[in-house]
């Protein structure tokens, strides 16, 4: 049976008095990648902020594993398995690659930690090569991989990714998206992905939601998006 991990019910949200999201409903099935696509300003980041607990919705419900998250802080949501990669990512430049990964999970004992570290290095072989290098000296793409590694090492149940490949070269975009797919397959995570490189995003997505001016206008399969030319309609009509 398909188990739902995240359900959004009729969400309104915005900033000050301006409503940005209008009655957004969505369902993410466990261990799937849902790609959220829409033009600039559609409200994609706003929706992720609501789920992460950074912005409180005005109306409607966010259910995680059937549990209503209303009033729960972003920190507690992270604690119950929701990780959030925001536009730009987050690492500590003065620490080495290894130290960054260490602080991402402080609760594990030595042996368990080494095992986890090994899993992360399997997904991001480049990080292994740079284990003792200071994170501030990594290239843009490597920093992204480290920021993702810090998310993956916590083994979140649900990952919210806001443009994880932004600003990367085409090769690195592919690498980052491939690593997201591995996270789903090897760590069993469920993923809500916002990605401007739609063509690449479609390759790893299981489901696609199209968003326009704060509303989900369509939910469909990656294949249907390509076949029916839905993206052109979304961006140019």
Ligand X SMILES: Nc1ncnc2c1ncn2[C@@H]1O[C@H](COP(=O)(O)OP(=O)(O)OP(=O)(O)O)[C@@H](O)[C@H]1O
- Span of 41-49, 104-112, 174-182, 184-192 interacting with ligand X by CB under 6 A: 41-49
Residues 23-52 within binding reach of Mg ion (CB under 5 A):
45
| Three-state SS annotation for 72-121 | CCHHHHHHCCEEEECCCCCCCCCCEHHHHHHHHCCCCCHHHHHHHHHHHH
The least CB distance from residue 87 to ligand X, in Å, is 7
Q: Tell me: does residue 168 bind ligand X (CB under 6 A).
A: no
Q: Which does 201 bind (CB under 5 to 8 A by kind): Mg ion, ligand X, none?
A: none
Cα separations in angstroms, 30 against 7, 17, 47, 229: 11, 34, 19, 28
Binding mask 17-36 toward ligand X (x if CB under 6 A, else -) reads ---x----------------
The least CB distance from residue 194 to Mg ion, in Å, is 6
Q: Which does 144 bind (CB under 5 to 8 A by kind): ligand X, Mg ion, none?
A: none
The DSSP bridge partners found for residue 64 are: 6, 67
Q: Which of 13, 26, 42, 120 binds ligand X (CB under 6 A)?
A: 42
Residues 179 and 150: beta-carbon distance below 8 Å: no
Helix (H, G, I), strand (E, B) or coil at 182: helix
- Which residues contact ligand X by CB under 6 A? 15, 20, 38, 40-46
């Amino acid at each position: 049976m398909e188990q739902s991990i995240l359900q959004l019910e009729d969400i309104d949200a915005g900033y000050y008095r301006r409503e940005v999201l209008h009655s957004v409903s969505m369902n993410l099935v466990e261990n799937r990648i849902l790609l959220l696509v829409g033009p600039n300003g559609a409200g994609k980041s706003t929706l992720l902020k609501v789920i992460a607990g950074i912005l409180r919705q005005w109306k409607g419900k966010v259910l995680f594993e059937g549990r209503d998250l209303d009033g729960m802080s972003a920190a507690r949501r992270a604690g119950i398995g929701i990780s959030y990669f925001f536009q730009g990512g987050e690492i500590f430049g003065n620490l080495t690659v290894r130290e960054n990964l260490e602080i991402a999970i402080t609760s594990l004992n030595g042996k368990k930690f080494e095992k986890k570290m090994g899993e992360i290095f399997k997904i991001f072989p480049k990080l292994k090569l740079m284990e003792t290098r200071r994170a501030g000296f990594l290239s843009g793409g490597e920093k992204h991989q480290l920021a993702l590694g810090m998310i993956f090492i916590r083994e979140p149940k649900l990952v919210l990714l806001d443009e994880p490949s932004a600003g990367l070269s085409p090769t690195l975009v592919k690498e980052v998206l491939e690593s997201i797919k591995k996270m789903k397959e090897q760590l069993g995570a469920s993923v809500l992905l916002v990605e401007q490189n739609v063509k690449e995003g479609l390759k790893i997505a299981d489901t696609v939601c199209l968003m326009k001016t704060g509303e989900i206008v369509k939910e469909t399969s990656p294949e249907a998006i390509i076949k029916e030319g839905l993206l052109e309609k979304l961006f140019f009509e």
